[in-house]
Amino acid sequence: MRIGLAVLRNEFLIYFKKWIHIIVNIAFFIFSTSLFSLVAGLEQELLAEWGAGVIWVVALLSMLLAMPLLFQPDREDGTLDLMLLSAVDPAWLALAKAAANWCVFGLPLVLLSPLLGASYGLEGIALLVLPATLALGTPALILLAAVAAALTAGLRRGVGLLALLVLPLALPILLFGVRATELAADGFPAGAPLMMLGAFLLAALGLLPWAAGAALRATAN
Amino acid sequence: MRLPNWLHKFASPPHFYRIAARIEPWMLWSGLAAIAVGAFGGLLLAPPDYQQGDAYRIIYFHVPAAYLAMQLYALMAIGSAIGLIWRMKLAYAIAAAAAPVGLAFTGLALATGMLWGKPMWGAYWSWGDARLTSVLVMFFLYLGYMLLHASLEERSTADRAAGILAVVGVVNLPIIKFSVEWWSSLHQGPTISRLAAPAITWDMLWPLLVMVAGSVLFSMAVTLTRARAEVLLRERSARWVRDAAEACA
Amino acid sequence: MREFLAMGGYAAFVWSCVGLSFAVFAGLMLTARRRLRSVRGRIRIRQRNAAPDEGSWELRA
Amino acid sequence: MNLVSTMLEARRLTIWRGERRLCRDLSFSLASGSLLLLQGRNGSGKTSLLRCLAGLLPLESGTVELNGIAFRRDPARYLRCLGWLGHKDGLKTELSVHRNLAFRLRLAGLAGKAGKEDELLERAGLKGLGNRAASQLSFGQRRRLALAGLIGAAPPVWLLDEPDANLDAQGREWLQRELNSHLDAGGCAVLAGHRMEWRVCGPAPQLILGIAR
């Protein structure tokens, strides 16, 4: 556990040295979202209807960009071996790395989403619900990604496979995130899907770090 | 937690290999015979449906495939879980053998489902349908399992890694199905005029049951054949493997 | 006979399903058998070739 | 630590790598204070054997015990006995030398103390480089840093994969001294590599595990 905290701290330090990645991810998020609105033809009604879906899908994709950073660099420079050979439970290791990755690549998307939502014509309570869904959904997503990234970390061109493994499993998170925002935009209570997202997050926190830890051990050869 | 003793004995790879080799042809040929009878009954003997005409006959091929897609996924996940918990190579072998068979049946279920959907709903595909979408997700999970297994060079590593994926996937599948259902029940999409299922008559039912039974037997036979190959690969250092490989030259 | 083949106007759908299904059945059967045969062959070849070359670790102190 | 106790015991190891069997029913044991050298041509499986001992690579059959504990029974205790240096240094080149060393010590469960780190750096011949980014070190200096982390963590069993790679003559001298004092203190070590002129003056004999051709 204390070793887990040390890993967490180390991760933050490394990510801040790699600040270019962070900027690239945020830029990708903003630019891709605006691409959709350009292609959709700038009709305000259509935009409001599609806003939640577009922002969620682009958030998913931009997090996908950062997922290889979870374990691939550690695998390449030999740090992963060292961490697996320390006495820390690999589940804590996976959790710490996922938490750092989320704080750096997920949290900015949550904070930016109201702005982009507003540009898509979302109003009122929906502008609060959208970041709330992202805040609940993206950590669960990154935990799923931790499992997939641990499974594919040893592969030279594992990024495509990583995406293929993550996307089907991430479907429920995406659906509920979009659903809650749409309900809120149409003036309905969005509590139920938000609670479902919360339940997913809890279940993911309870189960996926162990799966990711087992995956790290399994692919450590 | 230990496995019961009789299971250990049954699960000894040479024992499994021998037993599988013995029962496999019986399952294969009885399965094929049942499929032939079922297809004959379904295509010729069963009366046309009063609403769907002859198009409903597709279910004689669609339902067994969809059923097997699920069953084989369960087999793959259970095999993987047993392998992960008890480090049993045979379980991994069965999981790895079930995957391609399951992938084929999932693809068949999707294809026949689409061919059925066109005359019934007027569209090959409907994203609003929970079953279609979750079967598609299952297809990708099978694909992910096989690609991951194929891309990891060390077999024991591949078994464990792909096994973890299968177990995570099986936990997620009900959630996916449920969430798509919930999604489509609220979504104001194109409503599907699914024909109310009338009580199916015996004339129509028996070929379906025979088809399902035959497909199950057939898929088990194919899975056993593949599992034998996988067991041989995993037991490479055992003496009986050499004998088995030489015996059937 | 022609009536049977026409499948009440749904011939294209029904028969392509039948064809697909049997193609999958046949494909599964053939690939499974071929896999078993090729694995056996690989093991035989390895056992014939590999045995003398396989060095083994030994203590020399 | 008892000087004649068996620290590392490998029983009937069979290791496969892909389609190749690297060893069959290999058994050896290392007493406290003894050194095992793994020799063999490239591709003979030195690294694989080392990784098996560390529990990173699954064994086809056989058991490895450190101080009587198998990896599977209690991974945390097994790993606490173990120090590892692979052929990769395990350094984060983005971070400073100090950070890397501190992280390495924290992984071993030791709280980082600045004094200890400085002392280690001095011993490794990296004095005054603490605030430099690890990416600015030469490969030999990186190796020294990685070894310093291992030495600072002071685990009883060392598993080193070509520890002298990239090291200059003085570096090898230094490593030799550290190795000797480690063995004198009752530890044991397994070294894989080609240049094997390690002199050991410990009580227990030195084993050489080579591949027969």
| Domains of chain D and CATH, by start | 1-81+156-166+187-213 (3.40.50.300)
Domain count along chain C: 1
Answer yes or no: do C57 and D45 touch at CB < 8 A: yes
Residue B142 has pLDDT above 90, yes or no: yes
CB < 8 Å to B112, chain C: 17, 20-21
The answer to the question of residue C15 being in a domain is no
Residue D37 has pLDDT above 80, yes or no: yes
Question: Which pLDDT score, from 0 to 100, does residue D2 have?
Answer: 45
With an 8 Å Cβ cutoff, the interface of chain A facing chain D consists of: 2-3, 6, 10, 13-14, 17-18, 76-79, 81-89, 220-221
| C33-to-A48, B29, B34, B107, D103 alpha-carbon distances in Å | 56, 14, 21, 21, 54
Residue A176 has pLDDT above 60, yes or no: yes
Answer yes or no: do A161 and B164 touch at CB < 8 A: no
Give C58's strand partners: D210
Give D66's strand partners: D8, D69
Residue D9 to residue B245: CA distance in whole angstroms? 35
CB < 8 Å to A149, chain B: none
Q: Which domain holds residue C33?
A: 20-48
CB < 8 Å to C32, chain B: 101, 222, 225-226, 229
Question: Which pLDDT score, from 0 to 100, does residue D200 have?
Answer: 59
Highest mean pLDDT among B198-212, B225-239, D1-15: B225-239
Tell me: the pLDDT tens digits for A123-172?
888 899 999 999 999 999 999 999 999 999 888 878 899 999 999 999 99
Listed range (B145-149, B200-204, B224-228) with the worst mean pLDDT: B200-204
Domain count along chain A: 1
* Better pLDDT: C44 or B62: B62
The answer to the question of residue C30 being in a domain is yes
Residue of D nearest to B153 (CA): D18
Mean pLDDT, residues D10-17 taken together = 85
Q: Mean pLDDT in chain B?
A: 85
Answer yes or no: do D18 and B237 touch at CB < 8 A: no
Residue D73 has pLDDT above 90, yes or no: no
Probe site for chain D from A86, A88, A210 (most D CB atoms < 10 A):
A86
The answer to the question of residue C28 being in a domain is yes
Tell me: the pLDDT tens digits for A191-218?
888 999 999 999 999 999 999 999 999 9
Give D9's strand partners: D29, D65
Q: Which domain holds residue A8?
A: 2-218
Closest approach of C46 to chain B, Cα-based (Å): 10
Say yes or no: D30 contacts chain C, CB-CB below 8 A: no
Answer yes or no: do A158 and B151 touch at CB < 8 A: yes
ipTM of the complex: 0.90
Q: Mean pLDDT in chain A?
A: 91
Closest approach of A110 to chain B, Cα-based (Å): 23
| D8-to-B88, D64, D188 alpha-carbon distances in Å | 27, 7, 8
Which of C13, C28, C35 lies closest to B119 in CB terms?
Answer: C13
Which of A2, A77, A89 lies closest to D90 in CB terms?
Answer: A77
CB < 8 Å to A154, chain B: 152, 157
**Residue A188 pLDDT class (50, 70, 90 cuts):** confident
DSSP state of D14: E
| A47-to-A61, A139, B241 alpha-carbon distances in Å | 19, 27, 64
Closest approach of B6 to chain A, Cα-based (Å): 29
Q: For chain B, which residues make up each domain, given as ranges?
A: 15-187+200-247
Q: Mean pLDDT in chain C?
A: 80
Count each helix (H run) and each strand (E run) in chain C, helices first: 2, 1
CB < 8 Å to D58, chain B: 156-157
Closest residue by Cα to residue A219 from A7, A64, A98, A75 = A75
Residue D212 has pLDDT above 60, yes or no: no
Helix (H) or strand (E) holding A32: helix A19-39
